[in-house]
A = this chain, B = another copy of it.
Amino acid sequence: MNDSLNDGGVIQALSDLRRNIDDIDDKIVSLLADRQQVVSRVAAVKKAHNLPVYHPAREEDLISRLRQQARNAGLNPDCIEEVYRTIIHRSRIEQTSQLALKGIRPGGVVLIVGGRGGMGGFFRNCFHRAGYEVRILGSGDWPNAASLCAHADMVMISVPIDVACRVIRDISPFLRPGTVLCDITSIKTQPLAAMLAAYAGPVVGLHPLFGPSTSSLDKQVIVATSGRDEHACQWILDQFTAWGGIIVPSDAKEHDDIMAIVQALRHFATFAFGQFLNRQRISLARTLEFSSPIYRLELGMVGRLFAQDSSLYSEIIFASPERRELLRDFLTSLNENRDMLERGDKDLFQEEFRKIAEWFGPFSEQAMRESTFLIEKLTERF
């Protein structure tokens, strides 16, 4: 490399090197296309023999082997690992999207009550692609309820939580005995009780822990709460598993207690934070210029909430008197810090901090590792 190139020489040298890089990239893209072909054949074999897509041991072997090879080639093994985690993830999505075509009961009839909403639409597509006959019952379709319910293998209640119990009572008289009745609302106690009271056949409560914009069921969690006749309901859980989802069994009370924390408390805290920023009239644009990636990420979580539907969040936060009680306890707990702030009592803060840190225990280390990884991703992309 000649360090004394003139400007034109520098431009020429960079342009030659870039053409070099482009040639290499062409070969890489073409190899990735070849790889995709072979992966599709693997997926076809797996699909034909009911083998799972996700094969953690094979992935880890592959990564270890490539890390070693990277070392031999004088490359940073972390770099190769990162590139391949991306390639493998994409390859799993492709395989899962082939699996998405797999119906446990192809030709089965699925009725989605509220199938024109976000989550209803999501499941409508899932079942449709997998070869089911999917019917929709929207708010104007009640006159046809009897014919829509006829021969249904499953009826899924996908309506807002405040009308769920009423809809369950209204639809139940139309169901034939073998139909599985399920709901996908974010509360389980009342809807499950309503389903068991209104209908004598197989019942299961479901709560998909993801939104309608999710691109694949791969690794997504669905909580399942048994109602009645687990055996008759099993094919639905198998169907979600076949699509790559993870079923977490729980009883209705445990589910609701945990969701009060995981959803209501968290969303309320985020809401109240955004509310204060708004009242203070802080300049979002200028604070972002001052932002470390982690602040950007945290402010992003607040912004994300307010990009979504206000009624969705009011349903979650005001879902039950127990939830509102929990949120009032949260306000009381926060207020107990007022004296500490007024006195500027750093010692008390540190004592409290250490107590909580101890309770968080090993989760903190894991959280640190995961969030550091994400911050790097955020820095890389934006």
Contact bitstring A293-334, B, C-beta under 8 A = 1, else 0: 111111111111011101101110110010010111111011
Q: Are A258 and B286 in contact (CB under 8 A)?
A: yes
State the copy count for this chain.
2
Q: Are A380 and B85 in contact (CB under 8 A)?
A: yes
| Complex Cα gap A33–B213 (Å) | 37
A259 at the interface (CB under 8 A from B): yes
User: In the assembled complex, how far is the CB of residue A372 from the closest CB belonging to chain B, in whole angstroms?
Assistant: 7
A304 in contact with B86 given A41-B17, A255-B290, A350-B311 (CB within 8 Å): no
Chain B contacts for A382, CB-based, 8 A: 370
A147 at the interface (CB under 8 A from B): no
Chain B contacts for A284, CB-based, 8 A: 360, 363
Chain B contacts for A48, CB-based, 8 A: 1, 3, 5
Contact bitstring A49-92, B, C-beta under 8 A = 1, else 0: 10100000010001001100110011110011011111101100
Chain B contacts for A367, CB-based, 8 A: 299-304, 307
Segment touching B, from A109-117, A232-240, A265-273: A265-273
Q: Are A335 and B346 in contact (CB under 8 A)?
A: no
A378 in contact with B368 given A29-B69, A349-B317 (CB within 8 Å): no
> Nearest B residue to A219 by beta-carbon distance?
B379
| Complex Cα gap A285–B280 (Å) | 36
The number of chain A residues with a CB under 8 A from chain B is: 165
Listed by A's residue number, 27 A-B pairs whose Cβ atoms lie within 8 Å are A1-B44, A20-B38, A22-B65, A29-B69, A31-B31, A32-B80, A86-B86, A86-B380, A259-B290, A261-B282, A262-B295, A269-B269, A271-B353, A271-B356, A280-B329, A297-B370, A297-B374, A300-B366, A301-B301, A303-B366, A304-B364, A307-B367, A313-B349, A314-B350, A318-B349, A321-B344, A370-B382
The binding surface of chain A is classed by DSSP as: helix
A291 at the interface (CB under 8 A from B): yes
| Complex Cα gap A340–B165 (Å) | 24
Contact of A364 among B32, B290, B306, B366 (CB under 8 A): B306
> Nearest B residue to A82 by beta-carbon distance?
B86
| Complex Cα gap A41–B24 (Å) | 15
